[in-house]
Structure 1
Amino acid sequence: MSAAKRIRMADVAELAGVSVSTVSHVLNGTRFVAEETRSRVEEAATSLGYVISDRRESPVGPTIGLALTGASNPYLSELILGVESEARRAGYAMLFCDTHDDPATERDVVALLLSRRVDGIVLAPTEGWERQTLPILRRQHTPYVLVDRFAETACDQVGTDSDTAASQLVGHLIRLGHTRIGMLVGLRGLSTSAERVRGYRRAHQAGGVPIRPELLRDGESTVAGGRRATLQLLRQGQMTALFSANNAMTIGALLALREENVVVGNDLALVAFDDLEWGEVMTPPLTAAAQPFHAMGARAVQLLVRRLSDPLAARQIIRLPASLEHRASCGCEVAALIGS
């Protein structure tokens, strides 16, 4: 065993004025450590003769980091697969961290990915990411691409054209004669939520139908929020149709409708953003906008690889169209749908 390896972490910790676990995280790269603390530990280790391995390149070769809310939203699994398959095709490994849609967690996992020396990052930004995560990316000069959600920041971005898809879904309800259409609004502060509200409003304006603010309810992009907001709308006794702006809220809405013995497609028309895996086998089948998640992930990697090869390339913002799956939950007859 070399002299360098005989140096104890406890010695390094004592000299740097930190805990042994912090020394371990710095030397092994197992967790994000603040830059000032990292520098102090590395200086102490070097002065004691500890040889610090050069981790400027990932031991598994070129690597792309992916940070998004995955475990908490299983419908993004196709996006993750799109990133992974395109990264592999381009010769990159992928490291994935779940942000759980929490700004502080997002900041920490992005810092962790950077500590692992990833070449670039694909990020589905949380609300307020500009305040916590963006400064870290800029400080490290790491190329990144935003996926699924858009931002005002000048950078490469790819996602679904939510405005157009929402407008088409709600416009379909208006053409069916509905003038009191409820909406379950997603988490505030996200571009996807704002775009789907914009599409809802645009469809009303195009159809000459007045917008009733009391029919828009916060569903917070969760099952519980969707259920609660749907019950509130049902108890108002005004709406004849409902637009749910994401998959989790749709599940909540279905729970609420069942509780209130409301028959979808008969008592109430229902359309949704995000096509549920089992949407086609529902009774009645769900009319929904299906996002091209796999293509979205692949395009994000393509933008990142392009940025890595040409740092001065013009920024690109790509909006992919959703596919509208017309079924029967909107109140349309199946025969009419087949013939349309």
Structure 2
Amino acid sequence: MATIKDVAAVAGVSFTTVSHVVNNSRPVSADVRTKVERAIRELNYVPSAVARSLKARATATIGLLVPNGTNPYFAELARGVEDGCAQKGYCVFFCNSDDDPAKQRSYLRVLQEKRIDGLILASAGEDAVLAATLAEAREPLVVVDRNIEGLDADLVQIDHERGAWLATRHLIELGHLRIGCITGPVSTAVSAMRVHGFLRAMAGRGIEIPPGAIVESDFSGSGGYRAAAQLLDTVRPTAIFACNDMMGIGALRAAAERGLSVPGDCSVIGFDDIEFGHFTWPTLSTVGQSVRALGEMAALTLIERISGAAEAGAPGRRRLMAPRLIARESTGPLVSVSDVKSLAA
């Protein structure tokens, strides 16, 4: 690999002159610039990003740390972060913690060693050690999706509680009273807020929740499948609110295996509005906001901190995106006993 000294030898100038041309740090004559640029092309010289970052004290890179890279939600979030960074000339280092707090802390150290300019973090559950570590970090930080207790940082997230309330109210307005809820791990703030929205909607209409109607799982398709199977075999709800779309997709599978039509026998609604939900059969009703837009907002919020557009040391800001109801094919009116009799006749 060619070095700056190789370029200087071919161009017949000093290596400091090459540095001035590459970094535009001092004026050089047009003739000298032409010689240096020709030598760079001939040798296919690539300037050292590390050396340049040490001089400029900036790398134009940010770190993105997510808990589950296989979840389409976080894949879409990453794409949004990348889009936002590209607008401002930043690159992204992507790390996946596999929902493991220890791995999350390890990746955080690696990213800091790479001299990133800032960090976007979707946390892998509760971790008191992580909050203390991040509080001491020098780099600007934006937390997305999942808040971290005890940490004062910019936060970008959707209104989880209102989204769950909208989803549950949609089912109630369709005539459903026996509604099951599939939640993610109760240790996460996201799960707690979404369950709270479900409970608030049910209580607001005075609807009793059957025993066993709230089932804890994980935020995966297989987790949703197992939880929905449990609900359908015991509680037998006429509708299910799944606290994310992947669990909702799992619920569609569980219903199909039992010969139940969706939404005829059981309506299903998810949360997040991931792209995959457009292509299930039936298409999945959901609540949410563009996940890519959420990632883009997180990136631009971080770059505001890095560039100084947001005052350094100022208290963390909370940017809350309003959810919307997206009613598709997986939710429909409750078929009453009288309706069934009329159809049979």
Decide: shared fold, TM above 0.5. yes
Q: Does 1:164 align with 2:165?
A: no
Where in structure 2 are the equivalents of 1:190-201 lying within 5 Å? 190-201=188-199
Deviates more, 1:273-282 or 1:74-83: 273-282
Select which of 106, 127, 130 maps to 2:128. 130
Match of 1:151 in 2: 148
Offset at 1:248? Answer: 2.3
Offset at 1:278? Answer: 4.4
Offset at 1:280? Answer: 3.6
Match of 1:32 in 2: none
Match of 1:23 in 2: none
Using the alignment, how far apart are the partners of 1:92 and 1:295 within structure 2?
Answer: 17
Amino acid across the alignment from 1:138: A
Where in structure 2 are the equivalents of 1:57-76 lying within 5 Å? 61-76=59-74
Amino acid across the alignment from 2:192: A
Question: Does structure 2 retain, via aligned residues, the 8 Å contact 1:188–1:220?
Answer: no
1:286-337 Cα offsets, whole Å, 9 max, x none, are: 211133212211221222222231212332111102232112311149xxxx
Offset at 1:53? Answer: 7.5
Question: Does structure 2 retain, via aligned residues, the 8 Å contact 1:58–1:118?
Answer: no
Amino acid across the alignment from 1:177: G
Q: Does 1:142 align with 2:142?
A: no
Deviates more, 1:199-208 or 1:88-97: 88-97
Offset at 1:62? Answer: 2.0
Offset at 1:59? Answer: 9.8
Question: Does structure 2 retain, via aligned residues, the 8 Å contact 1:156–1:315?
Answer: yes
Using the alignment, how far apart are the partners of 2:274 and 2:295 within structure 1?
Answer: 19
Match of 2:314 in 1: 313
Mark the runs of 5 or more structure 1 residues left unpaired by the alignment.
1-51, 334-340
Using the alignment, how far apart are the partners of 1:68 and 1:222 within structure 2?
Answer: 15
Secondary structure of the structure 2 residue equivalent to 1:214: coil
Offset at 1:281? Answer: 4.5
Select which of 265, 274, 278 maps to 2:263. 265
Using the alignment, how far apart are the partners of 1:265 and 1:128 within structure 2?
Answer: 36
Amino acid across the alignment from 1:136: T
Match of 2:9 in 1: none
Offset at 1:274? Answer: 2.6
Select which of 270, 289, 299 maps to 1:301. 299
Change (3 A) 1:217 1:70: closer
- TM-score of the pair, normalised by structure 1: 0.76
1:1-27 Cα offsets, whole Å, 9 max, x none, are: xxxxxxxxxxxxxxxxxxxxxxxxxxx
Deviates more, 1:203-212 or 1:280-289: 280-289
Secondary structure of the structure 1 residue equivalent to 2:275: coil
Match of 2:329 in 1: 328
Using the alignment, how far apart are the partners of 1:207 and 1:113 within structure 2?
Answer: 48
Secondary structure of the structure 2 residue equivalent to 1:273: coil
Amino acid across the alignment from 1:320: M
Using the alignment, how far apart are the partners of 1:179 and 1:66 within structure 2?
Answer: 41
Using the alignment, how far apart are the partners of 2:72 and 2:198 within structure 1?
Answer: 25
Match of 2:233 in 1: 235
Select which of 82, 104, 119 maps to 1:121. 119
Amino acid across the alignment from 1:315: G
Deviates more, 1:234-243 or 1:196-205: 234-243
1:208-227 Cα offsets, whole Å, 9 max, x none, are: 21233510001221222212
Offset at 1:284? Answer: 3.2
Match of 2:245 in 1: 247
RMSD: 2.4
Question: Does structure 1 retain, via aligned residues, the 8 Å contact 2:59–2:115?
Answer: no
Secondary structure of the structure 1 residue equivalent to 2:315: coil
Deviates more, 1:238-247 or 1:194-203: 238-247
Using the alignment, how far apart are the partners of 1:159 and 1:319 within structure 2?
Answer: 5
Using the alignment, how far apart are the partners of 2:229 and 2:292 within structure 1?
Answer: 34
Using the alignment, how far apart are the partners of 2:123 and 2:223 within structure 1?
Answer: 21
Offset at 1:57? Answer: 6.7
How many pairs align? Answer: 281
Using the alignment, how far apart are the partners of 1:302 and 1:276 within structure 2?
Answer: 21
Using the alignment, how far apart are the partners of 2:303 and 2:280 within structure 1?
Answer: 40
Using the alignment, how far apart are the partners of 2:117 and 2:131 within structure 1?
Answer: 16
Offset at 1:69? Answer: 3.0
Question: Does structure 2 retain, via aligned residues, the 8 Å contact 1:160–1:292?
Answer: no
Task: Point out the structure with max Rg over C-alpha.
Answer: 2
Amino acid across the alignment from 2:134: L
Amino acid across the alignment from 2:133: I
1:113-141 Cα offsets, whole Å, 9 max, x none, are: 0010111100001112332x233333332
Deviates more, 1:230-239 or 1:264-273: 230-239
- TM-score of the pair, normalised by structure 2: 0.75
Using the alignment, how far apart are the partners of 1:278 and 1:55 within structure 2?
Answer: 39
Where in structure 2 are the equivalents of 1:277-288 lying within 5 Å? 277-288=275-286
